[in-house]
Amino acid sequence: MAKKTVADINVKDKKVLMRCDFNVPLDDNCNITSDDRIVKALPTIKHLLDNGAALILMSHLGRPKGKKDPKLSLAPVAEKLSELLEEQIVLADDCIGEAVRQKADSLKPGECMLLENLRFHKEETIKDKAAKEDTQLREAKDKFAEQLAQLADIYVNDAFGTTHRDNASMYTVPVMMEQKPKVIGFLIEKELKFLGDTITNPEKPFVAILGGAKVSDKLGVIENLLDKVDIILIGGAMAYTFFKAEGKGIGESLCEDGFLDDATELLKQAKDLEKEIVLPTDNVIAKEIKQDAESKVVSGDIDSGWQGVDIGPETRKLFAEKLQNVKTIVWNGPMGIFEIPPFDEGTKALAQAVADATEKGARSIIGGGDSASAVKTLGLEDKVSHISTGGGASLEFLEGKKFKSLQVIDEK
């Protein structure tokens, strides 16, 4: 069933508590270096304010480990929101407590306030499993969540980046607002549409591109996608685990030895299902992982003393060819050490190939993280169908996992 959204309910003169993902990157002076996550929350925020809601926003920022840290205050977010909305957004000194309650009570329709960093309280990140096993933890988490739940008449979740977590603000708060409306915002609605439609009813041919460091991070994704995709392209350091499983020399390349059997089994499953798993045919290798390190391109085995750092030119061309005439593309994870040029060339080439395929009619979904950074760095953001706002969340969604934070949301 589809989940109710903010468009399905009457918010006029109601107090609305909205969970956002304002976990923005900051420089050493606490200046926001990318306001992308704030901008993407604006459609839901504006809808609620324009329709007469008194809006209370909440989010985490960084990992303060349950202690107040001025460097991880949401003050820069409040300032940026004020600028984007062209009205003053009040930042509360905390996210719970009597002073916060009074500020929320005095909030008028059309006004907006932002609670201070949720993770300044350790109760926010207590895992639900731990809370069930420990009475004290459960009571602490419930008490924290109850204070948030009492602030409003309606709960809105528009924080896709944390939907895979059972944090207090994501799960316990809406559970406690049992008799009150609980809906999603437009950002999550869009994520569920793109990711959900792709997994349940992809238009064929369907290609999945998986990269990054660890096979262990992508095992569930590959297993879940094998019966849905036509081709899986594998790059990044995770490819070397597959190479070693096939008996190839990988030198000093990153490899998860504990997952060699899993890699072998996945290759066998793909063959049995007549699905194509495509590994790199050549690799850029280097003596060290640094910008001016000695490097070269090799096909076949990687000698001792060298390590794979990117897919090679032949592989870039091969992967681009595999994207010709496809209808659906899902990409999660870089093809090499994207942060260190020139080992970003494979990821950049793939980003261009995905954009080219999209221009020819493919539906392309970029699963956050470094693959999203590559697309944005090259100015290709408008050349792909959708860039997910949640790296970890989109990965778990592609694995087919159910999110508790969404299960408690009202259905249409």
Residues 157 and 405: beta-carbon distance below 8 Å: yes
What pLDDT was estimated at residue 398? 84
Catalytic residues: 37, 214, 369, 392
What pLDDT was estimated at residue 16? 98
Q: Which pLDDT tens digit goes with each residue over 225-267? A: 998 999 999 999 999 999 999 999 999 999 999 999 999 999 9
Residue 330, token pair as written in the block:
């899902």
- Say if strands 282-286 and 307-311 run parallel, antiparallel, or are unpaired: antiparallel
Residue 265, token pair as written in the block:
């089994």
- Cα–chain center distance at 358: 21
What pLDDT was estimated at residue 1? 62
**Is CATH 3.40.630.30 what the domain over 6-188 is classified as, yes or no?**
no
Question: Of the candidates 286, 268, 262, which has an alpha carbon nearest to the alpha carbon of residue 214?
Answer: 262
Residue 182, token pair as written in the block:
């609980």
Distance CA 305, CA 20 (A): 46
Residue 120, token pair as written in the block:
């300044």
Task: Concatenate the DSSP letters of all residues of 351-371 into one string.
Answer: HHHHHHHHHTT-EEEE-SHHH
Residues 61 and 117: beta-carbon distance below 8 Å: yes
Residue 157, token pair as written in the block:
């979740």
269, containing H or E segment: helix 260-272
Distance CA 186, CA 133 (A): 35
Residues 389 and 24: beta-carbon distance below 8 Å: no
CATH 3.40.50.1260 domain locations along the chain: 6-188, 202-398
The number of helices, as runs of H, and strands, as runs of E, in the chain is 15, 15
| Sign of the C-alpha dihedral computed for residues 201, 203, 204 and 209 taken in this order | negative
What pLDDT was estimated at residue 292? 85
Distance CA 119, CA 124 (A): 6
For 107, the 3-state DSSP assignment is coil
Within 107-257, residue ranges assigned H as helices are: 128-133, 135-149, 173-176, 186-200, 215-225, 238-245
Cα maximum dimension of the chain: 69
What's domain 202-398's superfamily in CATH? Phosphoglycerate kinase, N-terminal domain (3.40.50.1260)
Amino acid present at 276: E
In which order are the strands placed within the sheet that holds 182-184?
A: 90-91, 112-114, 54-58, 15-19, 154-157, 182-184
Distance CA 159, CA 393 (A): 10
Q: Looking at the DSSP assignment, which residues form a beta bridge with residue 365?
A: 330, 386
Residues 237 and 254: beta-carbon distance below 8 Å: yes
pTM listed for this prediction: 0.87
* Mean pLDDT for back-to-back runs of 10 residues, the chain (412 residues): 93 98 94 93 98 98 95 97 95 97 97 98 93 92 97 97 94 96 96 85 94 88 91 96 96 95 95 95 95 92 96 98 95 92 94 96 87 86 90 83 93 94
Residue 151 phi/psi, 5° resolution? -75, -20
